[in-house]
Chains A and B, each alone.
Chain A
Amino acid sequence: MKLLTANFLSCAVKACKSSPLSFPLHFRDAELASKSVPYNPLLLSNLLPRLDWPALVTSSKELGFTLPDTKPELPRLSASSSSATTADGDMNMDGTVGEENEKTLRMLHKTVGNFLLPSHLV
């Protein structure tokens, strides 16, 4: 699972969706792998406004690296390839991702997020 993906996922339990705890999901015991991808300024300039930056900062702390507290501005970002690599990097995680209240921990099975629910939570 990629780091950016976590920015677009919430808890799958319907009853949780209205709760502020349902997003972002939290990484625990995650193993981070980094893979560089081709720098694509067009992708970044489209992606950046769509990211929930505070949630991304939270995810990054859980995974042991730091992002600036405020969302980088577009011109600066496209000029700086190093921060671009960070935001665009392909982060794979093994471990668990779950809500803060731990009701719905999901294993990231072979690095693919599995959100299938036990029947009592459907």
Chain B
Amino acid sequence: MADYEDQHVHQVYDKIASHFSATRYKPWPIVHEFLSTLPPAPVNPNVFIVGSDRCENLVKIAKDRSPTQDVATADILSQPHRPSSFDFALSIAVIHHLSSPGRRVEAIASILELLKPAGEGRALLYVWALEQKNSRRGWDENSEQDVLVPWVLTKQFKEPSKRSDSTESEVETGNTEKAADGEEPKPFLRYYHLYKKGELEDDVKSAGGSVLKSGYEKDNWWAIVERTAG
């Protein structure tokens, strides 16, 4: 399982990090709302945040974005955050990259573990939804849940050494450009487990957490959770 994730998640993100990061530039509405309700009310400069990601290249991009945040490279199943000490945690698009039910529950348990007890600490979790009929992926509740999803690097994010001797017109063709040898560019395939309705809540309970609020937003399931008291 760990080897599979290394090949189909970790190595892929290391290669697509710049492009991936460039497509994520503002907090999703529910993330923004969650952060806004934390004491103190204003979203960012009054809260000290320690972030981590498995992908070193994404961590490098996040480094030094703000004086009140810091980042580290870490695996969700062996995270270095001090247990029972955090007021809140955000996990966006992480849990769905674990490739077995047991490992996904373990990932949620690992987030719950760093939170203060029920009533003091809570986490917002986001996973990709199976039900996204209207997205360009077009999956619905009958689709396969464990999938490899392609990421095609646009030209500007390719490693310079691998660039062909492009003419200007080739540069402008963007996504559909062909490689120097005439082959279609190879997409990077990322492993995902697509969550179906109710599954995130079930996993949270199995991990020893309670769901305070949950819902669906733009092709994702989300849940605000805390450790189960007692």
Contacts and interface: CB of A to CB of B under 8 A. Distances in A.
Contacts, number: 98
Contact of A5 (B70, B77, B78): B70
10 contacts: A4-B48, A8-B82, A13-B78, A35-B67, A42-B46, A112-B59, A113-B73, A115-B73, A116-B78, A121-B78
Contact of B75 (A4, A10, A42, A116): A116
Given A7-B82, A121-B78, 16 more contacts: A5-B72, A8-B85, A9-B82, A10-B81, A42-B46, A43-B46, A43-B47, A46-B46, A90-B67, A112-B56, A112-B71, A113-B73, A113-B74, A114-B72, A116-B73, A122-B78
Interface string B31-64: 0000000011010011110101010100110010
Contact of B39 (A38, A46, A116): A46
Interface in A86-122: 90, 109-117, 119, 121-122
Which of B39, B60, B73 has its CB near the most chain A CB atoms (within 10 A)? Answer: B73
Contact of B81 (A8, A38, A42, A90): A8
B150 interface: no
B86 interface: yes
B87 interface: yes
B80 interface: yes
B102 interface: no
B2 interface: yes
A47 B56 CA distance: 28
Contacts of A38: 67
B81 A114 contact: no
Contact of B79 (A4, A46, A110, A115): A115
A12 B63 contact: no
A78 B59 CA distance: 33
Interface in B80-135: 80-83, 85-87
Contact-residue bracket for chain B = 20 to 34
A116 to B, nearest CB: 6
Contacts of B50: 5, 8-9
Contacts of A13: 78
A40 B46 contact: yes
B166 interface: no
B164 interface: no
Contacts of B21: none
Contacts of A17: 83
A115 B63 contact: no
B143 interface: no
Contact of B78 (A35, A47, A117): A117
A11 interface: yes
Contacts of A14: 78
A32 to B, nearest CB: 15
